[in-house]
Amino acid sequence: MDKRMNALAFALENEEKEREFYLAQARKTRNMAGKNMFKQIADEEKEHYEMLKKLHAKWVEKKKWPATIPLKVQPSSAGSVLQGMSGKKSARITGTEDELKAVRTAIDFEARGVALYSKLAKQCTDAKEVAFFDMLAQVERQHLLSL
């Protein structure tokens, strides 16, 4: 359990850092599609953070996987945000080198998130734990594909 607890604490820290990164990028970019995408992913990372925070607190308290926390998050809608912006003039602004670097950084964040949550799922023996971390890996994969 210690390895999984440490990984969960690491995941909490990452979700918070990623959210701050996405919010900063949303403020910087002039491209509305990029701005909306970064805001949407930041909102989704906040939801993940809040869920992981509750899970971590309960897990520490009970010394086992909690039965009382609804362990589901909304599917990512970052891809649909981008689709909704396609063709709009404000979405056609060419990205700067810094914006392209931010997208590359975001891709790296999300790829590492997929790997982390997939690894956590494989380390679990409880079906609820496996399903939860698989679900988080899938949402991070959706973020990755939307980028």
Helices (H), the chain: 2-28, 32-62, 78-85, 97-123, 127-146
Q: How far apart are CA 25 and CA 70, in angstroms?
A: 31
Domains observed in the chain: 2-146 (1.20.1260.10)
Q: In a 3-state reduction of DSSP, which class is residue 93?
A: coil
pLDDT computed for residue 87 by the predictor: 58
pLDDT at 145 over 90: no
Confidence of residue 93 (pLDDT cuts 50, 70, 90): low
Nearest to 45 by CA among 127, 117, 126: 117
Nearest to 33 by CA among 76, 74, 79, 75: 79
Q: In a 3-state reduction of DSSP, which class is residue 30?
A: coil
Between 65 and 102, whose confidence is greater? Answer: 102
pLDDT in tens, 6-62: 878 888 898 899 999 999 999 998 888 888 889 989 998 898 899 889 888 888 888
Confidence of residue 146 (pLDDT cuts 50, 70, 90): confident
